[in-house]
Amino acid sequence: MKYWIYMGGNHFKSSFKLWQNFCIHVNKFVYICTMKSYLKKYKGIHPGIVLDRLLTKKAIPQRPFALAIGEHPQTINAITKGRRNLNTALALKIEDKLNLEEGSLALLQTYFEIEQEKKKTLNTPNLALLRKSLFWDTDTATINWQKQYKAIIRRVFERGNEEEKKEIERFYGSKKTITALQATKGKPYTIYRTKQPA
């Protein structure tokens, strides 16, 4: 039996077997496209949030689901809240139980970790240009560069060299730097004399 396949303006004669192969290819291509769009849609989001959405969508309670895959309910709860990372072994169990593509949740976890690393590097100035002695009393890895910007700007402009000042001004912007420097100008330290007893 012969079938006509219409593809891009060309007609092809085909047998049933070739038609089946073509359909499988189309299905795989369509599946790959949907998989890429699925990953693109959730890229950078914690896989636990995606898992929570899937469980809600399928009306599956967390506790029975956790027990069904042999995991503690607290673990699944922490993952769905985004407080805990999803390891590969658990991701495979979840994917198998929810009939997801193998590796999709593990891949989302990897994309999430990449996004977190990008955020860390974007939110810090070039630390190679800042001397460690400038922040002798704290670890530079624990500094919140956005929250503590006034103290950082003040310290660098009081004790830093020109290169460090330029880096801080580049990182925060001149407007924010000037605002922080003006806000920190307070009254000079004064010693008050106590009254002498009469």
Q: Report which of residues 30 and 46 the model is more confident about.
A: 46
pLDDT value at residue 14: 40
In a shared domain, residues 106 and 74: yes
Q: What pLDDT sits at residue 19?
A: 39
Same domain, 50 and 104: yes
CATH (domain of 80): 1.10.260.40
119 versus 150: the higher-pLDDT residue is: 150
Backbone angles phi, psi at 71, to 5 degrees: -130, 155
Number of structural domains in the chain:
3
Let me know if residue 160 belongs to a domain. Answer: yes
Would you say residue 151 lies in a domain?
yes
Q: Provide the residue range defining the domain that includes 62.
A: 44-110
pLDDT at 47: 94
Under DSSP, the state recorded for 85 is: -
Which of residues 177 and 142 earns the better pLDDT score? 177
Query: For 157-178, what is each residue's pLDDT tens digit?
Result: 999 999 999 999 999 999 999 9
Q: Is residue 126 part of a domain?
A: no
Provide the b/e sequence for 158-172 (b: ≥16 CB within 10 Å): eebeeebeebbbebb
Gap between the Cα atoms of 134 and 35, Å rounded: 49
Mean local confidence (pLDDT), 20-38 = 48
Give the pLDDT score at 22. Answer: 41
Single out the residue in 42, 58, 75 at which a domain terminates. Answer: 42
Q: Which amino acid is at 65?
A: F
CA distance 64 to 187: 63
Exposure string over 133-157, b if 16+ CB within 10 A, otherwise e? ebbeeeeeeeeeeeeebeebbebbb
In a domain, 33, yes or no: yes
105 and 71, same domain (yes or no): yes
Q: Is residue 101 part of a domain?
A: yes
Answer yes or no: do 84 and 94 share one domain.
yes
192 — pLDDT class (breaks 50, 70, 90) = low
pLDDT tens, position by position, 68-118: 999 999 999 999 999 999 999 999 999 999 999 999 999 999 999 998 888
Dihedrals φ, ψ of 191, to 5°?
Answer: -105, 125
In this structure, is residue 86 part of a structural domain? Answer: yes
Predicted TM-score of the model (pTM): 0.51
Contacts of 82 by beta carbon, 8 Å cutoff, 6+ apart: 46, 48, 49
- Say how far apart CA 186 and CA 170 lie, in whole Å: 25
Does residue 80 lie in a domain region? Answer: yes
pLDDT given at position 63: 96
CA dist 59 and 84 (Å) reads: 22
For residue 21, which amino acid is it?
N
pLDDT at 20 over 60: no
Closest CA to 85 of 111, 60, 62: 111
- Compare 136 and 93 and report the one with higher pLDDT: 93
> Is pLDDT above 50 for 5?
no
pLDDT-based confidence at residue 119 (cuts at 50, 70, 90): confident
pLDDT tens, residue by residue, 33-59: 445 556 778 888 999 999 999 999 999
Q: Are 50 and 105 members of one domain?
A: yes
Asked if residue 127 is part of any domain, the answer here is no
pLDDT tier for residue 135 given thresholds of 50, 70 and 90: confident
